[in-house]
Structure 1
Amino acid sequence: MSILANIGTILFIVIFFGFCIFIHEFGHLLAALWQKLHVEKFSIGFGKKIFGFTRNGVEYVVSWLPLGGYVSIPQLDPADIPKTEDGRELPVASPKARAIAAFAGPLFNILFGFLLAAVLWGVGVWRTPPASTCVVHDVPKILPLYNKEITRDDTIVAVNGIPWDKTLDDLAYDYLDLKEQLKLPPLDNLQPIEIEIKNQKGETKTIEYTPQPGLEWNAGLRKGDRIVAFNGKQLRKGYSELHEMHAYNGLPEATIQVKRAGQDDLIDIAYEQFPNPDYEDLGVPFFIATNPVALGNIIDGSPAQLAGFKPGDFILECNGQTVLTIHRFIESLQDPQLNEASIRISRNAEERTILLKLPSQDTPRTATSIGLAFNVIIRNIFKDSPAEKAGLEPNDKILKLNGIDIAEAAEFIKLVKEAGPNPIDVTVERDGKTLEFKGIVPQKSGNRHLIGVHLDDERAKVLVHLSPWEQFSEVFGQTAKTLGLLFKPLTSAISGEKTSKSQVKIKHMSGVVGISALLWGTIKNDGLRGGLSLIVLITFSLAFVNLLPFPVLDGGHILFAAIEAIIRRRLPVKLVSFLQNAFAAMLIALMLYITFNDFTRLPRFFKAFQMAAPPTLEETQQQANESQDANETESQNKND
């Protein structure tokens, strides 16, 4: 991101995140004035006062730190005789007045959320197309359990004294293929193995590693399976929903329903959810899966258009075989004896079969000649690369290269390779506008030429227009599930119900630091629409959490007021004071704990959102040379 873009993102976070807090306090202010409660001060921001004025006995100030604001309402506190700052006693407010003033804060958050949600309803939000299934790409035979001794940044240089230069992931997923070569124990009798690892500093050490069985593999899940349901619930949003369902599953076991090529009946696969260290020990899957390949566009007059394909269709199977990647799909059509292909697709959550007549062998069978166009997206720009100097940016959609339509990333890679050191012209789509970048000179790196872009052609997105109520219901449901799981250890202890050892816990919560980082990453990847969508989630969530019936929260004030209204007298001051002080101490400790966790996960978070500075071409030269063949055939993410 440029300096101006960074400044703009910071301003967005400060203004909108702060406004969620400001509007909450503003709700308290208006309700307190309406109920004729005494208001001491209303501040926009925190810290030292910049300027202010007093009106009708209320001091209004603007302070230096623009991170929300606060309002001082002495009569809202049920724990003592209300007094002004100068010690003058105030009349005790009625339970009704206190409840209205307390409820107004969350209410204004909800109203603000509905206002923003209405804007997003009109302009839409970019999301991955809803998919009723997701495709399994690989299943680990042993669990890749990274820990303090072996981390994701480490490389395995030897196993059982046998030289080997890969990662724990490679060992986990390719275990059966490596069994003889590395003298590994059989899966049904796993024993400790000796691993020599090298860290990023080049330091080596040997550890004893005890493989844990791949629970999903042992349960029968296989590459190419299509997952359609989780615990009996049909998927509607593909892999992202499946991932969330695993995380929010409070049961010790998960059951998925899969379709397997060549079989008509659904297969039930049940396995224990094991804590995944890559996701802070949540019970999310270890297997690799994605949404099916999605079509970005259909070329007019092409065989694909004549066959009936439409943009947004998901390609599930080709001639009875599961389609894992675009490249494998195109490869499967190269048989010269093949004149037509039976393609199984999903459209609007319904599956159907389309017969595609293929071009003759005189015409190369590429995505373009067939008429299937995929969204070729720039996911990252390498530092000091020709692409960066030309002005290309992450999230640009590549349309043409030297006037040739680009249907898939492999095609772009091939054309750049053929261009060699000669200048190329690249046409992209950015924020709905078509831009052309001329005269980009590829830079030599190893034995090939690159322009320095990281491509992805399998993440098609569509503009979704969710109504304000749908957005509200989505956040409410997610918040309710989270709170339910946080309190599940307590409720399970009472009921005796068994729970998962990998469910959502307090350590998975995020505070101001984590939410700000998430906002930053969302804006970087999804633009202002994505940022505003997250603000809607934040302001709704702020309302729901504040309505919890705990002392010091708005819900606690409402609860105390309701009890007083029922018993027709004030609660004992000492009891209320004790409860408020105890919960305030617990809340402060909780926020410190959450903030500490936020800081510890920031490096991992930045890496996930590719927020760190991209590597230079020189830094990636060796990797690019080693992965050249894979990039042109079956890799989903490609470096060019």
Structure 2
Amino acid sequence: MDHPPGGKGLRSCPAQMTILATLVVLGVLIFVHELGHFWAARSVGVRVERFSIGLGPRVYGFQRGDTEYVISAIPLGGYVKMAGMDDEVMEKIEGGKAPPHGSQADEAYPAAPAAPATLPGPESPRDSTGDFDSKPVWARVWVISAGVIMNFLFAFVAYTAVAGLWGSAEPDTLRVGDVRTELLAPGTSALSDVPIGAELTGIGARTPAHWGEVREALLDLPAGPVEIRFAAGAAAATGPQAGAVEITIPEDRADRIRVAQALEYWIDPVVGGIEPGTPASRAGLRTGDRILEVDGEAVERWFPFTRMIQDRPERASILLVERDGERLELEITPGSAQGEDPFTGEIRTIGRIGVLPEPPPTAWARLGPADAVVFGARQTWGITVFIVEFLGQLVTGQASPRNLGSIVTIGEISGQAAAAGLPEFLSFMALLSINLAILNLLPIPVLDGGHLVFLGLEAVRGRPVSVEQRMRWSQVGFVVLIGIMVLALGNDFMRLFGL
């Protein structure tokens, strides 16, 4: 997680802060999701009987109008109980239950006292105009979809607020890590003469302060000749100690983007993250390990290390790493996968070991209101695409199920993000909100996505799916969901115990 200047990024924090941060994250996101259902239901005339944050026994509540507002004991979900929606089905969809009055369950889950009213007799017809099931399909789709829509909207607003108040997070470095010559447009080949390890000092009339401004200059400067200045000093791995090269900024926007992508910032060959169940995990690599050699070939920065691994699918290799001042040799066999080579673009079998680099320090680039809105939209879309692609990789076996995390992971990262600062905390909440939205759209009957499938079938067939069928599929979906939760919880416990 990135941090503002002077911060220290994600770090451990007291247990009290972790618990409080977790409750805030879950409480806010559940409230936002259920508020979407609530507002949508009210907008189409559906009567809402209960709005609950949390599951299980009622801790606090009050009655206002037709709706009972409740805070329940277990902060792992919430629900909106709508009139005319079968209680059992609603329990499966939202994770809550409104027990019938007069049952023993009333004692364990008491309703807030309501104003005295004259109860209808056995022969009195019940007014069903406010029932969920009495509304047309489009209205019910709107009600069910609104929770997910609110989660996406919350993420967009949070990312926009972070960008507007603090800025966008950019690598706080000017050191050149690589020049991808295959991406250079005509007139820009001189960029390959910039020494690896050099510090960029100027691009035309601009003096960049961080890598975001390097990228911005290459994208925004007028087309034509421009001088790229650098000061290498002792940091340079190759080439002269200082100097300049001249390139021609292309007219075409696509060519400009390729040039900006060709110039990459320096990343030290230090492990910043390890995916569980991967070759890196099995080989004994740890976060903080510095990669020194691969099969006797020296490693100075992250990009060459990535290339070495990609060129060694299913080939046993020896890594020399530095850990706590000591040098260790680890044997590792990269896995293999068909994919696009990120350096050449060709589809081939590439090696993967499941590691991420330790990112450089972060600088915050100020953005104006319009740019902040654009940033919020792009960030929300980019994270959405990333999560959807990850779910696809889970289905196809390209990603390990051990990457799934439970409430334990959420709590751990919530505490770390809270300790890092408000922008990190808001950014994490936005990320988790998108996760919640996408997971709720999965076609599992206990989730919003499953209910949308039922409504789609009703629209096609012209009649609703029977309560019996919904209950049957809801039970299957409930088992699937519990299985996923147990798997995620098991992953966290294995990670905590180093398994």
TM range (shorter): 0.5 to 0.7
Q: Deviations over 1:28-47 (max 9, x none)?
A: 22323343434332223444
- Aligned residue runs from structure 1 range 293-372, under 5 A: none
Q: Deviations over 1:194-225 (max 9, x none)?
A: 99xxx99xxxxxx9x8665899xxxxxxxxxx
- Aligned residue runs from structure 1 range 119-134, under 5 A: 119-125=161-167, 126-128=169-171, 129-130=211-212, 132=261, 133-134=264-265
Q: What's the counterpart of residue 178 of structure 2?
A: none
Give 3-state SS (helix, strand or coil) of 2:351's partner.
Answer: coil
User: Structure 1 residues 191 and 517 mapped into 2: Cα distance closer, same or farther (>3 Å)?
Assistant: closer
Alignment of 1:103 with 2:145, yes or no, is yes
Give 3-state SS (helix, strand or coil) of 2:445's partner.
Answer: coil
Give 3-state SS (helix, strand or coil) of 2:446's partner.
Answer: coil
Give 3-state SS (helix, strand or coil) of 1:510's partner.
Answer: coil
Q: Which amino acid aligns with 1:514?
A: T
> Which of 573, 586, 603 is 2:480 aligned to?
586
Q: Deviations over 1:73-103 (max 9, x none)?
A: 3644599799972499976433234222212
User: Structure 1 residues 602 and 274 mapped into 2: Cα distance closer, same or farther (>3 Å)?
Assistant: farther
Q: What's the counterpart of residue 524 of structure 1?
A: 419
Q: What's the counterpart of residue 566 of structure 1?
A: 460
Q: What's the counterpart of residue 575 of structure 1?
A: 469
Unaligned regions of 5+ residues in structure 1, if any? 154-166, 178-186, 201-206, 216-249, 258-267, 291-457, 493-500, 605-640
User: Is the contact made by 2:160 and 2:375 (CA closer than 8 Å) also made in structure 1?
Assistant: no
Give 3-state SS (helix, strand or coil) of 1:43's partner.
Answer: strand
Question: Alpha-carbon deviation of 1:531?
Answer: 1.0
User: Structure 1 residues 57 and 6 mapped into 2: Cα distance closer, same or farther (>3 Å)?
Assistant: same
Alignment of 1:116 with 2:116, yes or no, is no
User: Is the contact made by 2:292 and 2:298 (CA closer than 8 Å) also made in structure 1?
Assistant: no
User: Is the contact made by 1:17 and 1:67 (CA closer than 8 Å) also made in structure 2?
Assistant: yes
Q: What's the counterpart of residue 459 of structure 1?
A: 361
User: Structure 1 residues 147 and 53 mapped into 2: Cα distance closer, same or farther (>3 Å)?
Assistant: closer
Distance, in Å, in 1 between the alignment partners of 2:430 and 2:270 is: 36
Q: What's the counterpart of residue 554 of structure 1?
A: 448
Decide which structure has greater helix share. Answer: 2
- Of 16-25 and 57-66, deviating more is 57-66
User: Structure 1 residues 53 and 573 mapped into 2: Cα distance closer, same or farther (>3 Å)?
Assistant: closer
- Of 131-140 and 528-537, deviating more is 131-140
Question: Alpha-carbon deviation of 1:146?
Answer: 5.3
Q: Which amino acid aligns with 1:93?
A: S
User: Is the contact made by 1:139 and 1:173 (CA closer than 8 Å) also made in structure 2?
Assistant: no
Q: What's the counterpart of residue 512 of structure 1?
A: 407
Question: Alpha-carbon deviation of 1:516?
Answer: 2.6
Q: What's the counterpart of residue 351 of structure 2?
A: 274
Distance, in Å, in 1 between the alignment partners of 2:473 and 2:11 is: 49
User: Is the contact made by 1:23 and 1:108 (CA closer than 8 Å) also made in structure 2?
Assistant: yes
Alignment of 1:151 with 2:284, yes or no, is yes
Q: Deviations over 1:561-592 (max 9, x none)?
A: 23313332112444333322212211110111
Question: Alpha-carbon deviation of 1:462?
Answer: 2.7
Give 3-state SS (helix, strand or coil) of 2:48's partner.
Answer: coil
Alignment of 1:480 with 2:388, yes or no, is no
Distance, in Å, in 2 between the alignment partners of 1:10 and 1:555 is: 30
Alignment of 1:28 with 2:34, yes or no, is no
> Which of 79, 104, 128 is 1:70 aligned to?
79
User: Is the contact made by 2:160 and 2:376 (CA closer than 8 Å) also made in structure 1?
Assistant: no
Q: What's the counterpart of residue 93 of structure 1?
A: 134
Question: Alpha-carbon deviation of 1:170?
Answer: 5.3
Matched residues, percent identical?
Answer: 25
**Pairwise CA RMSD:** 4.9
Give 3-state SS (helix, strand or coil) of 1:48's partner.
Answer: strand
Q: What's the counterpart of residue 48 of structure 2?
A: 39
User: Is the contact made by 2:316 and 2:333 (CA closer than 8 Å) also made in structure 1?
Assistant: no
Question: Alpha-carbon deviation of 1:127?
Answer: 3.6
User: Is the contact made by 1:472 and 1:540 (CA closer than 8 Å) also made in structure 2?
Assistant: no
Give 3-state SS (helix, strand or coil) of 1:550's partner.
Answer: coil
User: Is the contact made by 1:76 and 1:93 (CA closer than 8 Å) also made in structure 2?
Assistant: no
Give 3-state SS (helix, strand or coil) of 1:587's partner.
Answer: helix
Equivalences, count:
338
Q: Deviations over 1:357-414 (max 9, x none)?
A: xxxxxxxxxxxxxxxxxxxxxxxxxxxxxxxxxxxxxxxxxxxxxxxxxxxxxxxxxx
User: Is the contact made by 2:13 and 2:415 (CA closer than 8 Å) also made in structure 1?
Assistant: no
User: Is the contact made by 1:22 and 1:70 (CA closer than 8 Å) also made in structure 2?
Assistant: no
User: Is the contact made by 1:514 and 1:599 (CA closer than 8 Å) also made in structure 2?
Assistant: no
User: Structure 1 residues 568 and 522 mapped into 2: Cα distance closer, same or farther (>3 Å)?
Assistant: same
Q: What's the counterpart of residue 341 of structure 2?
A: 254
Question: Alpha-carbon deviation of 1:529?
Answer: 0.9
User: Structure 1 residues 603 and 124 mapped into 2: Cα distance closer, same or farther (>3 Å)?
Assistant: farther
Distance, in Å, in 2 between the alignment partners of 1:86 and 1:55 is: 19
Q: Which amino acid aligns with 1:123?
A: L
User: Structure 1 residues 580 and 468 mapped into 2: Cα distance closer, same or farther (>3 Å)?
Assistant: farther
Question: Alpha-carbon deviation of 1:20?
Answer: 0.6
User: Is the contact made by 2:414 and 2:428 (CA closer than 8 Å) also made in structure 1?
Assistant: yes
Q: Rg: which structure is higher?
A: 1
